[in-house]
């Protein structure tokens, strides 16, 4: 059953999961209520997520709601083996996750998870949905719907839908404001800096940090780097986002000009080939490069390896490459997701909102998937409102309410200037 590094690690994992649980009040409240109402009874959920303490608490909510859960890792580097062991032993999901496993084992874990014959799918990067459609179409008969947590996964699913290939309804959690405004911005913003610091311990103040991409993740990284005293340069391909960066007070340059100024470059684009060896050749000696986007394709790692005359692991998560001219480039976390590999992924407080949104989407699918056509659907607004209100309540924050007169005013059109 499942695939773990070592089931005996479960005690350590349990303590860490408990620590995170105390910081996830919205999910904890859902878990309590769902243990009574059991809205997911009869559902079999296959989930592909970072195997973290926060994911553990999502699994607990889903299982409290009556679902059976099979979980595999969305990234071999973010798996915490002790947490994986406790999710299986204490929370009761079947877990397929081994930290640092190779590609073949990774896909064996995906396959093992799909062997649970899911009725609902939770994805982080569309790996399950892609595997189901490409390799396991026989599962489509049972699957009623799915959800996707990350921007790149949503892009893929929209491409699938546009091609007419997507065979079930999907409600992407990433599309909810209670996800991307917070998780992408404050989660990625913080854990990218955290990953850079744990890996290198460099001083951010006074450095030049180049952020590639000014979506929600890039905005978060830029905001935090600036807050710590860096000069921040943004590179973009989208005119509106570039303007936003400019009016946020940041310098905007093409990468070929930014590269030479950088002490640190972080990619957050979701695209490929954002830092090429041509850019690396322009960088200063000792420049640090890392990726906080979806895949390890944002930085041309294979080309860097081919070009370099020397390569050595200089600290954990830091590989130093020497270029033919003698300059050195420090690559963080093999070009993989930096905040997940070198730090600890997003903190519990923000995953509380992501996973409460996710859990409510799963409940919505359990109740309404049959009414939805295959394709990508918007997240119902009530879900976002419920999560935001619950999070505010957990912070002990009250807000004003519209008066009847205000409601009428907002709903009318007769009152002019």
Which residues of the chain form contacts with ligand SAH (CB under 6 A)?
Answer: 49-50, 52, 54-55, 74-75, 78, 124-125, 149-150, 183, 187, 294-295, 337, 340, 345-346, 351, 354
Minimum gap (Å) between residue 281 Cβ and ligand SAH: 27
Closest to ligand SAH by CB, 9 or 59: 59
Helices 348-368 and 10-21 meet at what angle, rounded to 10? 90
Look up residue 348 and give its DSSP letter.
H
Closest to ligand SAH by CB, 207 or 354: 354
Minimum gap (Å) between residue 76 Cβ and ligand SAH: 9
Closest to ligand SAH by CB, 81 or 124: 124
Q: Which of 141, 73, 147, 150 is nearest to 110 (CA)?
A: 73
* CA-based R_g, the chain, Å: 22
Q: For residue 190, what are the contacts with CB-CB under 8 A and spacing of at least 6?
A: 220, 224, 339, 346, 347
Minimum gap (Å) between residue 97 Cβ and ligand SAH: 12
Q: Which of 215, 180, 193 is nearest to 350 (CA)?
A: 180
Sign of torsion, CA 379 380 383 384? positive
Minimum gap (Å) between residue 395 Cβ and ligand SAH: 20
Minimum gap (Å) between residue 262 Cβ and ligand SAH: 23
Closest to ligand SAH by CB, 52 or 277: 52
Closest to ligand SAH by CB, 56 or 204: 56
Minimum gap (Å) between residue 349 Cβ and ligand SAH: 11
Q: C-alpha 343: how far from its chain's center? A: 13
Q: How far apart are CA 319 and CA 312, in angstroms?
A: 6
Minimum gap (Å) between residue 279 Cβ and ligand SAH: 22
Closest to ligand SAH by CB, 235 or 340: 340
Minimum gap (Å) between residue 347 Cβ and ligand SAH: 7
Closest to ligand SAH by CB, 17 or 323: 17
Closest to ligand SAH by CB, 54 or 82: 54
Minimum gap (Å) between residue 20 Cβ and ligand SAH: 8
Minimum gap (Å) between residue 277 Cβ and ligand SAH: 22
Closest to ligand SAH by CB, 129 or 208: 129
Residue with tokens 């999502």: 58
Q: How far apart are CA 169 and CA 158, in angstroms?
A: 11
Q: Which tokens go with 289? A: 């490069």
Closest to ligand SAH by CB, 194 or 263: 194
Q: In what order do the strands lie in the sheet with 169-170?
A: 3-4, 94-97, 68-73, 44-49, 120-123, 145-148, 169-170, 375-376
Transcribe 95-156 into DSSP letters: EEE-TT--HHHHHHHHHHHHTT--SEEEESSSHHHHHHHHH-GGGGGT--EEEE-SHHHHHH
Q: For residue 291, what are the contacts with CB-CB under 8 A and spacing of at least 6?
A: 266, 267, 298, 299, 332, 333, 335, 336, 337, 338
Residue with tokens 């979806």: 294
Q: Which tokens go with 294? A: 């979806």
Q: How far apart are CA 52 and CA 87, in angstroms?
A: 9
Closest to ligand SAH by CB, 30 or 308: 30
Minimum gap (Å) between residue 295 Cβ and ligand SAH: 6
The angle subtended at Cα 170 by Cα 178 and Cα 295, nearest 5°, is: 75
Q: Which of 313, 272, 326, 318 is nearest to 294 (CA)?
A: 272
């Amino acid at each position: 059953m499942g695939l773990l590094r070592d089931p005996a690690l479960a005690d350590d994992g349990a303590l860490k999961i408990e620590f995170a649980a105390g910081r996830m009040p919205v999910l904890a409240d859902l878990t309590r209520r769902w243990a009574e109402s059991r809205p997911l009874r009869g559902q079999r959920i296959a989930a592909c997520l970072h195997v973290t303490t926060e994911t553990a608490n999502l699994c607990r909510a889903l299982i409290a709601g009556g679902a059976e859960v099979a979980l595999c890792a969305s990234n071999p580097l973010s798996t915490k083996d002790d947490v994986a062991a406790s999710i299986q032993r204490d929370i009761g999901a079947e877990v397929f996750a081994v930290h640092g496993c190779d590609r073949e084992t990774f896909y064996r874990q995906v396959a093992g998870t799909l062997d649970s014959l899911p009725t609902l799918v939770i994805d982080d990067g569309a790996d399950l949905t892609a595997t189901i459609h490409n390799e396991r179409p026989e599962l489509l008969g049972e699957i009623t719907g799915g959800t996707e947590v990350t921007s790149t996964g949503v892009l893929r699913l929209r491409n699938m839908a546009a091609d007419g290939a997507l065979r079930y309804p999907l409600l992407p959690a990433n599309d909810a404001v209670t996800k991307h405004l917070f998780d992408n911005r404050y989660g990625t913003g913080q854990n990218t800096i955290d990953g850079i610091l744990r890996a290198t311990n460099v001083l951010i103040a006074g450095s030049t940090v180049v952020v590639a991409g000014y979506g929600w993740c890039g905005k978060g990284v830029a905001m935090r780097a600036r807050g710590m005293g860096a000069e921040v340069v943004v590179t973009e391909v989208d005119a509106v986002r570039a303007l936003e960066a400019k009016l946020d007070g940041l310098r905007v340059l093409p990468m070929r000009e930014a590269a030479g100024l950088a002490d640190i470059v972080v990619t957050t684009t979701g695209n490929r080939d954002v830092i090429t060896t041509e850019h690396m050749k322009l960088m200063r000696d000792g420049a640090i490069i890392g990726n906080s986007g979806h895949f390890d394709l944002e930085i041309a790692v294979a080309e860097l390896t081919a070009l370099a005359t020397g390569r050595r692991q200089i600290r954990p998560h830091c590989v130093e490459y020497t270029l033919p001219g003698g300059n050195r480039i420090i690559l963080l976390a093999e070009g993989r997701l930096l905040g997940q590999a070198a730090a600890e992924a997003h903190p519990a407080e923000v995953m509380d909102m992501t996973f409460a949104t996710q859990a409510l989407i799963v409940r919505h699918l359990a109740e309404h998937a049959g009414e939805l056509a295959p394709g990508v659907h918007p997240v119902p607004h009530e879900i976002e409102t419920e999560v935001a209100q619950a999070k505010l309540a957990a912070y002990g924050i009250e807000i004003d309410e519209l008066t009847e007169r205000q409601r009428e005013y907002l709903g009318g059109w007769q009152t002019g200037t």
